[in-house]
Amino acid sequence: MNFSEKLKDYTTKINKALLLAAEQFPKNNIVSEAMAYSLLAGGKRIRPVIAVAVAESLGGDVDEALCYGCALEMIHTYSLIHDDLPCMDNDTLRRGIPTCHVKYGEAYALLAGDGLLTYAFEYITKNAKDKARAFDFMAYLSSMAGIGGMVGGQTDDIGAEKVKVGIDALKSIHARKTGALINAAGAAGAIAAGKDASFAEGYTKSLGMAFQIKDDILDVEGDAEKMGKTLMKDMNSEKSTFVTLLGLDEAKAQLDAETKKAIEACEIFGTRKDFCISLAKAMLEREN
């Protein structure tokens, strides 16, 4: 299979597993419906893809990585639902459809986020085969998703609104807000292959930074329809981004540099490094 076929194969498996998971949410419950609405709305599934790709590249248990990756996608989806709320970014479009609070109202959207965050851990405890490894993953995942990771990054991101922050502060914010869950994706694959949680961090830290720089570039240069969300929000709100701080050309140069670092880090995958290299290149060229 070439890269595109393999990527499609991975995303098909991930989407099937997420559909099965959503079918297990309690029936006749409006918040279950809102959780499934956002979880199954599409999205690139990049975090579970990294999880299964890292596991396979390390000769690990791909099904176990898929289980961890689906939990990660639930946490990612919760963060998007909460990020879109009126008290945060107040967005009306996500993954090409109305945001969760536009469709279900603010209170149910808040609960849908809470429900997905909690269900992620319930899902692992119900579906993981190796409880010791699952515990290690949940320990790492909770540290990456919480106040020391994504929530802390989001907190500092809010604090940095309307204030010009330096490039190091911006990188620190995004290493946590966006990068932490990408690290958790790498950890999912590494743990499913019997390695330490931090084994693939060299790869995922650069991948996460590249992902965020590209996101800032797409906010300026992207196609709103392909992105499935409103663009130019950061530019119009005078928020510090890689593009506002560095300019478009330097942001693109840093994107190239981080992608190169991610590719170099793929040596840890030995002879099975090709997919992870192609994934880093695909993220550089992505249009959504």
Q: Which residues of the shown chain bind ligand GRG in the complex (CB under 6 A)? A: 43-44, 46, 76, 79-80, 82-83, 95, 150-151, 154, 177-178, 212, 215
Q: Which residue is nearest to ligand GRG (CB)?
A: 43
Q: Which is nearer to ligand GRG, 134 or 150 (CB)?
A: 150
Rounded to the nearest whole angstrom, what is the least distance from the CB of residue 281 to ligand GRG in the complex? 17
Phi-psi region of 30 (alpha: psi -120 to 50; beta: other; left: phi over 0): alpha
Rounded to the nearest whole angstrom, what is the least distance from the CB of residue 39 to ligand GRG in the complex? 10
Q: Which is nearer to ligand GRG, 68 or 133 (CB)?
A: 68
Of 244, 243, 180, 189, nearest in space to 65 by CA: 189
d(CA 114, CA 75): 9
d(CA 194, CA 196): 7
Under DSSP, the state recorded for 26 is P
Rounded to the nearest whole angstrom, what is the least distance from the CB of residue 212 to ligand GRG in the complex? 6
Rounded to the nearest whole angstrom, what is the least distance from the CB of residue 119 to ligand GRG in the complex? 16
Q: Which is nearer to ligand GRG, 60 or 149 (CB)?
A: 149
d(CA 212, CA 218): 10
Let me know: does 141 contact 72? Beta carbons within 8 Å.
Answer: yes
Q: Which is nearer to ligand GRG, 150 or 193 (CB)?
A: 150
Distances (CA, A) of 13 to 69, 80, 99, 161, 201: 11, 22, 25, 39, 25
Q: Which is nearer to ligand GRG, 151 or 248 (CB)?
A: 151
Rounded to the nearest whole angstrom, what is the least distance from the CB of residue 89 to ligand GRG in the complex? 7
Q: Which is nearer to ligand GRG, 44 or 136 (CB)?
A: 44
d(CA 249, CA 146): 33
Rounded to the nearest whole angstrom, what is the least distance from the CB of residue 222 to ligand GRG in the complex? 11
Q: H-helix or E-strand containing 278? A: helix 274-285
Rounded to the nearest whole angstrom, what is the least distance from the CB of residue 79 to ligand GRG in the complex? 4
d(CA 186, CA 229): 27
Q: Which is nearer to ligand GRG, 82 or 205 (CB)?
A: 82
Give residue 261's Cα distance to chain centre.
19
Q: Which is nearer to ligand GRG, 220 or 268 (CB)?
A: 220
Under DSSP, the state recorded for 164 is P
Rounded to the nearest whole angstrom, what is the least distance from the CB of residue 267 to ligand GRG in the complex? 26
Let me know: does 233 contact 91? Beta carbons within 8 Å.
Answer: yes
